[in-house]
Structures are given as C-alpha cells and as structure tokens.
A and B are shown apart, each in its own frame.
Chain A
Amino acid sequence: MGLLSRKATCSTHGQDSSYFLGWQEYEKNPYNEVNNPTGIIQMGLAENQLCLDLLEPWLMKNPDALGLKRDGISIFKELALFQDYNGFPAFKRALVDFMGEIRGNKVSFDPNHVVLTAGATSANETLMFCLADQGDAFLLPTPYYPGFDRDLRWRTGVEIVPIHCTSSNGFKVTLPAIEQAYRQAQKRKLRVKGVLITNPSNPLGTTMARDELDLLINFIEDKQIHLISDEIYSGTVFTSPSFVSVMEVLKDRNLDQTQVWERVHIVYSLSKDLGLPGFRVGAIYSNDPVVVSAATKMSSFGLVSSQTQYLLSAMLLDKKFTKEYMSENHKRLQKQQKDLVSGLEKAGIRCLDSNAGLFCWVDMRHLLKSNTFEAEMELWQKFVYHVKINISPGSSCHCIEPGWFRVCFANMSESTLKLAIQRLKSFVSSIGMNSQGHQELKSLRRKARNNWVFRLSLQSFYDREQDTTTKVSFSYRPHFMSLSNIAATLDAAA
C-alpha cells in the first residue's frame, strides 16, 4: 500500500529463515534440567555461558564498578550526563589494551581509532553505511552467520555476494572462489566495495590461516576495495593454531603505511569472549580517519550506556583478572568442545577440525536421505521436533553443500551437553537401522528409483507449498520461501 516503508514491509531482515525459526520452536518448549527435562535443548545459540561465574566474584571484590563510584565517591551524575559519542576515554583505552592482549600483543591499537557501538550488530551495519551505497556489494565467504543478511543488507540496501567455500579443502577461502564471486557481482551489475570475513569463523570455528589472509590482502589491494574482519570470536581461540589478526599480517608485510592499511577495518565485541551480549558493547577499529569520523557520528544511533562503559573499563583495566579469565575461559571452551566432538564421534559423526568459537561445524551428510537441501531440512526438522535439539542447518548459513550443521556447546552445562549427545546418539542409531535397508533398495532398483525419488521429492515440495492443514506449523512456510532464494543463489553461482 506504500503507507509504510519498503524496509518495514519486506523480509530482508531475514527473520523468517530457519535460523530464527528453530529459535522460535525452542522458545515454545525450552529444555530445563528440572522443570522441563524433555524440552528442546538450545544448541543454536552462540553464547558463552561457561565463565560468568568468574565475573561475579570480581564484581563483588570491586563494588565501585557496579556502584558507579571512583575511589569510593559517586560519579553517578558524571556518567548519567556522559553521552559523548567519542566514548568514555578510560573504556576505549582498556578495550584496546584487551584487544592487544588477545592478539598476543603482536599488534597494538590506538584508542583514537576505536568507535564504540551498541554491539557488533550495530558496528557491522554502521561500517556498511560508511563504506558502501545502496546497490553496492560486499563479498562474504560461505558459510556465514545468518544475521549478516539482516545486519549488512536490510537498511543499507547493500548486497551480499557469496564466496563459495567447500569441504574439499576444509572450507578455506581460495583465490578462484574469490574471483568467481567478484565476477558474479559484476554480472549482476553490482559494484563490489569490499570483502567481509569472520575470523575466527562463525560457523566453522576455525581461525584463518596466514595464507588465506595474504590472499585476501592481495585481492583487496588489487581491486582497491575494503576488507572488514569481524573478529568478535578472537577471544575464544582455545587451542592452536593461535589467532592471527589481519592487522598482524599487514604489519608483517610492512603494509602499515600504505593505502591498503586504511582499507582494513576490524569489528569487535565483548559478547562472545566475556559472555556479555546483554550489555551491548561493540567496536569498530579503523586506520582510516574518515571512516572513524563518520562511524563516530553514526554511533549516535547506538551508543553504549555510560553505566556499562564504566563497569567494563574497570574490569578490563584489571589486567591480572583479564589474564586469568582468558586462560580459564580457553580451558573450559576447549574441554566442552572436546566433549562434543568425542561424543559426536562415538555416534559416527565427524566435525570440522576447529580451534575457536562457541560451536562446531558438524558433518551430517551421511545422515541425509539425498544430497539435497530438502533432505537437510527434513533432517533439521527431525532434530528439532523429534530429537529435541535446536541446531542450525548449514543452508541458513548459506553453505552450498547440504548436510552440515552448526552445533553450539558453550551455552550449556556439562550435563546438558551430555544429554544432548545422548539424544543424538540414539537418534543416529535409529537412522542407522533404516539406512541399511535403504542401501539394499538402492542397489536393487537403481534406474527406476531415480525417477521415483525425483518425483517424490518434487511432490513433497509442492505438497508443502499447498498444504496448509498439516501439523507443520505456519511458521514453516516463510522458511520455505527463503529456501527458494537460497536455491536461486545456488543456481546463479553454479
């Protein structure tokens, strides 16, 4: 009708994808050790809940931080009035020190290049507004965080063109893949303004290798475009290889005084390593003063509460504490990841070898009825509704190979993780018995079966579209539409 904006009435916010739908199903029937032991276990939420118990005693020992006092004297008024978009100076200093620590102090950051934002969600969108116009494009390696479809595109009008990565090389970024994506963008008459990577990767849980970073730097140098490195998981690297930030590679290649230095930007947040997503603390780091200036002004639309800036500046300034915290955090993450990986192994399921993040990238291709996204959706549905585990299907992360799932491990206790693995094991063994019979059928009636399967999958395809009376919830239908979009992107990319 045109009464509201196109943005308000479209679905580019991507909230109808399966990523969010699984979340919704979980909300309806959430697992609780005591109150709802048969509920759905949330393994689709990349949160770090393993170390909050370390933060609480620190807060007790440092009452001034929460109490908004400095040396025992209330600075409530000062903070209540502090709305300077340049950010609380002490907080920015503490933040850059912390960021340096995470990178083994191989890189040092200048607080004047930091722009604070209400979470990485805000930081990423702001960077898009600064670096690209409506109709421009950014290249993103797949699989990527589903939220980017909203954060980078919705209000900015910027397009995402995927750089397809495959399991053939552990989903690493390759030059042919980047160039393919670039050509794809050109075909679509989109001006490419940059590449956005997530390092460590969500959903892969891996840190980028030096040669990948070199590749990307060479590429953006050649094409004179930007590189955004979303490093929000940098504090969750729990085992080797250690984290190499793109800034470190630039320094090592003596590129720190060149033009490309100003086209590389980092996004960070305290939501993943410190486990504080509720406090909305994100940051943009850029060596381009124009970007810093524009982003600073834009941060007016999402400033960090001064109450929170003060609390965290006190916490991060306690270097002894942050060192101990990070060390313990890594230990616990590693243990939980190991538990998940070995548990899955016992069920005959392999994970991509990972050293970071709050999740594993799990290979369930062998559990698919067919090498299709329909089969992946079917499997995902089984997980949510029958196994009662909400995990994220690879298609929601724009993975081009069906059968991969992101499974989170850091947002639950050890015992809940054990239970989840148990449920998975029983489910897999039940499939196992069926799949054996399935194999025999396959070898017996190959030719006829091909036609039959094709017709059947098509049929169920249409059935789902037309049938509104099945017990499949209404919320499933919008998901189906986003599946078609993914399929279309696949077609175009093929």
Chain B
Amino acid sequence: NSHGQDSSYFLGWQLYENNPFHEVENPTGIIQMGLAENQLSFDLVESWLRKNPDVMELKKGGESVFRELALFQDYHGLPTFKNELVEYMAKIRGNKVKFDPNNLVLAAGATSANETLIFCLADPGEAILLPTPYYPGFDRDLKWRTGVEIVPVHCWSSNGFRITMFALEEAYERAQKLNLKVKGVLITNPSNPLGTTMTKEELDHLITFAMAKNIHVISDEVFSGTVFDSPGFISILEAAMDRNLENADVWSRIHIVYSLSKDLGLPGFRVGMIYSNNKTVVGASTKMSSFGLVSSQTQYLLTNVLASKRFTSKYMKENQKRLKKRKEMLVSGLKKSGIECLKSNAGLFCWVDMRHLLSSNTLEAETKLWNQMVCDAGLNISPGSSFHCSEPGWFRVCFANMSRGTLQVAMRRIKDFVERSNLMGRIKMNYQQNMSSLSRKLLSNWVRKLSSPDPDEHER
C-alpha cells in the first residue's frame, strides 16, 4: 500500500471527481483546488501552434518527418530537443548556469525521472532525507518500487519552514538510529507545497551537509519556471558554482530533475528529465529511461516550440505576470476572511495558515476542518498532513488551474464558510454559557416532558 494513493490527498480528489464544479453545469459542485496545474497560459501556446502548423503535422520545411519520428526510439533522446531544453533551462536560471545536453536524460515526466534517479543512487533499504512539508507523490515515486525509505527533515513555521543545519543533522541521526543508510537529500526548489524559492543560505547548508556526509543532493526544480516574484530563483548548481565546487567531489553528487508540466502546463505530454554531472548516473539512467521514453512525436513538437526564442521569452514573461496576479487574488481573498498565507514567490499554490480555524491543535482537528472544507465549503484543498507537515492546520491551495471567475466563487465560499464557523463558534459559546446558568431542575423537567410516552403530547 506504499503507493500512498489512499492518503487524504487522493481521497479529496475522488470526492471532487464525483461532484466537480462547473461554472454553468454544476455551479454548486466541488472546486478543485488540490491540483497543481498551470492552466493560465494555454492561449499563448495554442496561438504559436496555429502560426506554425508544420510542427503538429510532423513536417520540417514542408517535408514530412513522420517516418523518422515513428522509428526514433533512441534512449539518448532527440538531440535537437535536448539542445533546446538545456537552453531553456539556462534561460530560466537567468543564464547563470550552463547545461550540457550530454548530461541530460529524458524521462516520461518528473515522476519517472525521480524514480529512476533513486534507482541509480540507492539500494533497497537505504534512505533519502526529505524536508517537510513535501509533495505526497514522493511517497510513491521514491519508495514504492525502489524499496528506498524516506526520512523527513522537519521544518517549522517558526522560521517560515526553512531548512536548518540542525534539522538536517537531526534527521540524519534519526536515520542512523533506525539503521538506515542515508544516500542523499532530495529538495524541491521552488518548494511544493510552500511556493517559496530556497535562499542561498539554505542551499549552502545542503551543499555543506552533502559534502560532510558524502551523500547526494537531488534538486527537483520542476517549478523553476513558475517564479513570478522576487527573490529570484537560485538553482543548486548556481550555489555550488558560487562556491567554486565544479571540480570538487560533491559536484558529481548534485542532480537536478525538471519537467515541462508545470511552467508550460503540459503534464499530459510526459516530458521530464534528469540532469547530472555524474557520468555513471547519466549512463545508468539513460538505459533506465527505456522504461519511460518520451514519445518522439512529442519531442518533435516541443523542440520547435522551445526553438522559438521570441516565443519562450514572451511566454515566460506573460506566464509569470499571470501567475503573480492570480496568486495575489487568492492571497487577498483569503486575507478578507482572516486567513494568512506563507509569503511566496513561486509555484501554482499557496501554503495557507488555517491553524486558528482548528478546534484543537491536532491532526484530527485538521482532518475535520478539511472534511468541512470539502463537504461544506465545496473546496478540495490539500491538508498539510498529506504533505507530512509537522504542524496541524496548514493547507495547500492551488490557484493556477481555474478561471478568475471560479477563483472568485472559491473566495466567496471561504468567506461564507469562515463566517458560518465564527457564527457557529459564537452560538456554541453562548450555548455553553447559557447552559451553566439555566436551572438544572428546569432542564430536567423539560427533558422529562419531552420523553413522556403521552401520545397527545407528541402529536403537538
């Protein structure tokens, strides 16, 4: 059962599937706010495709390349595609890092890339450290078939959930006590679910830690193209370069995972990748990619999309603008309901503080609140416990997978919900107060009368 599919994260999904919101057809349905998808910038991609029909038609200069593509199953990937990808990745990093296409391995989505990396870096029974809160899918992707364990690195709201050296050391010791050999630490930067980019300090801690313990660092940078505000994005490779570590041992122990699912909004096309400076890892993961190659039809399409530098520049700028605006709408909407969010500058979601809405500071109370959000408020948001957050009361709320109108509806529903909860809270409080001042005798008389078997009484 370690595919983790029965966590509330996926259950909320199911509830939504049974009663999905639709602006026209089902306006009282559940609004999906648990899906980290970017639906804000399709029109840009679609208009480019319309202007470049050859690409979808698998033509190059008017000539069909269908045949070559149909036969192309080389696990090294379409060379032109990898060239474009590394340029695009560098662009996202403000060209402060350069990537070599020979160190890039394509995979069917980041899901495949992450699993493959773990297969390459760890044996069954070994462990990977992961800062909490983390993406629930990791419980499946990193552990299920690999037999590798996850040991959480606990992060707390007291410092904005930042990774500290102390937390890393603590997690490492815990792993040792459990007799687990730690092979690496996996970070998601920008973070899912926090929506924040890692600070230079955090990255430095990780690198120092990896050097000291002689372990790997996997930096899942799938959200790197969704950074819409300052501070800017610092990739782990940039941090390592700033410390002149290109010739150090640790350089070959740093690996990046990327995908086109989050910024370009194309999860259906299954385009993920591993970037590593370690030749053995590149070699092994290339062979392993046989189990999840990217369709050549898709490789061709995206090679051309990314080759248009004007388009990618325009897309990145506009996409970031839209993400920022939408996030601000969510944040201000929540604020009006008395709910704060962790300050974020990236991602497709906000990390929302609903601790004050909990009836008690417990996991049960969080689950109860989540239940109420889905069933009463009609919003499928993701409870922090499904992200292994150590503090109850935090929720991840997605904003980029819906229209403005739908988000407005969602905001209104939250406001109503909170008001109702406040009202209920006040009624409850009044009731409790009144109960103690009501004469006990009166109450027991009243109750006795009600439960009297006199039929005439009941009919009234």
A interface, CB within 8 angstroms of B: 3-9, 13, 15, 47, 49, 52, 55-56, 59, 63, 66-68, 74, 76-77, 79-83, 118-119, 121-122, 125, 129, 134, 150-151, 154-155, 271, 275-280, 297-298, 300-308, 311
Task: Name the B residues within 8 Å of A82 (CB-CB).
Answer: 268
- The CA of A386 and the CA of B291, in the complex, are separated in Å by 35
Known A47-B71, A82-B268: A125·B291 in contact at CB below 8 Å = yes
Could you tell me if B296 and A279 are in contact, using CB atoms closer than 8 angstroms? yes
Closest chain A residue to B109, Cβ basis: A303
Does residue B232 face the partner (Cβ distance < 8 Å to A)?
A: no
Q: How far is the CB of A13 from chain B (nearest CB, A)?
A: 5
Known: A9-B284, A80-B268, A303-B109. A119 touches B3 (CB 8 A): no
Q: Taking A68-B56, A118-B108, A278-B71 as contacts, is the C-beta distance between A306 and B268 under 8 angstroms?
A: yes
Residues of A within 8 A of B111 (CB): 300-301
Docked complex Cα distance between A129 and B37 (Å): 30
* B280 in contact with A56 (CB, 8 Å): no
Q: Does the CB pair B291–A302 fall under 8 Å?
A: yes
> In the complex, what residue of chain A is closest to B295 when comparing beta carbons?
A305
Segment at the A interface, from B120-128, B188-196, B238-246, B365-373? B120-128
Are A4 and B120 in touch, CB under 8 angstroms?
A: yes
CB A181 to nearest CB in B, in angstroms, measures 26
| Also in contact, A308 and B267, with CB within 8 A (given A77-B42, A81-B37) | no
B108 touches A302 (CB 8 A): yes
Quote the shortest CB–CB distance from B279 to chain A (angstroms): 11
Query: Is B58 an interface residue when CB atoms closer than 8 A count as contact?
Result: yes
The answer to whether A76 touches B46 (Cβ under 8 A) is yes
User: In the complex, A119→B296 CA distance in Å?
Assistant: 12
Would you list which residues of chain B between 245 and 283 have a CB under 8 Å from chain A?
Answer: 253, 261, 265-270, 278, 280-281
Q: Tell me the B274-310 residues at the A interface (CB within 8 Å).
A: 278, 280-281, 284-285, 287-288, 290-298, 301
CA of A47 to CA of B72, assembled, Å: 11
In the assembled complex, B119 has its CB within 8 A of some CB on chain A: yes
Instruction: Tell me if B39 is interfacial: C-beta within 8 Å of chain A.
Output: yes
Cβ–Cβ < 8 Å partners of A122 in chain B:
290-292
- Of the stretches B61-69, B220-228, B353-361, B420-428, the one at the interface is B61-69
- Cβ–Cβ < 8 Å partners of A151 in chain B: 290-291
Assuming the contacts A67-B57, A301-B111, asked whether A278 and B287 have C-beta atoms less than 8 A apart, the reply is no
Which of B71, B115, B287 makes the CB contact (< 8 A) with A150? B287
Which chain A residue lies CB-closest to B59? A66
Residues of B within 8 A of A59 (CB): 57-58, 64, 66
Q: Is B27 an interface residue when CB atoms closer than 8 A count as contact? A: no
Contact B120 A8 (CB under 8 A): yes
Contacts of B253 in A (CB 8 A): 3
Q: At the interface, yes or no: B45 with Cβ under 8 Å from chain A? A: yes
Instruction: List the B side residues contacting A276 at CB < 8 Å.
Output: 70
A300→B268 CA distance, assembly (Å): 11
CA distance A300 to B119 in the complex (A): 16
Q: Are B3 and A311 in touch, CB under 8 angstroms?
A: no
Extra A-B contacts (11), CB below 8 Å, given A7-B120, A56-B67? A3-B214, A8-B285, A66-B56, A80-B269, A83-B270, A155-B119, A155-B291, A278-B69, A278-B70, A278-B296, A278-B297
Docked pose: A62 CA to B138 CA in angstroms: 41
Tell whether, in the assembled complex, residue A278 and residue B72 are in contact, meaning their CB atoms are under 8 Å apart.
yes
> In the complex, how many angstroms separate the beta carbon of B416 from the nearest chain A beta carbon?
29
Cβ-defined partner of B293 (8 Å) among A134, A275, A280: A280
Cα distance A56–B70 in the bound complex, in angstroms: 11
One digit per residue, 1 when the CB lies within 8 angstroms of any chain A CB and 0 when it does not, for chain B 178-204 equals 000001000000000000000000000
B400 to chain A, nearest CB (A): 12
Are B287 and A13 in contact (CB-based, < 8 A)? Answer: yes
Closest B residue by C-beta to A45: B71
Contacts of B45 in A (CB 8 A): 76, 80
Given A4-B280, A278-B70, A305 and B294 contact (CB-CB distance below 8 Å): yes
Question: Which residue of A has the minimal Cβ distance to B269?
Answer: A305
A311 to B301, CA, bound (A): 13
Please indicate the chain A residues that have their CB under 8 angstroms from the CB of B123 in the complex: 5-7
**Taking the nearest CB of chain A, how far is it from the CB of B108, in angstroms?**
5
Q: With A3-B253, A5-B119, A8-B121 as given contacts, are A121 and B287 in contact (CB-CB < 8 Å)?
A: no
CB pair A56–B66 under 8 Å, yes or no, is: yes
Q: How far is the CA of A301 from the CA of B281 in the complex (A)?
A: 18
Q: Does B338 contact A (CB under 8 A)?
A: no
B271 closest partner in A (C-beta): A305
In the assembled complex, B160 has its CB within 8 A of some CB on chain A: no
Task: Tell me which residues across on chain B come within 8 A of A4, comparing CB atoms.
Answer: 120-121, 278, 280-281, 284
20 residue pairs of the A-B complex, CB under 8 angstroms, read A3-B214, A5-B122, A8-B120, A8-B121, A13-B284, A13-B287, A13-B288, A63-B57, A68-B56, A76-B42, A77-B39, A82-B268, A118-B270, A134-B147, A155-B288, A275-B71, A278-B73, A279-B69, A300-B111, A306-B268
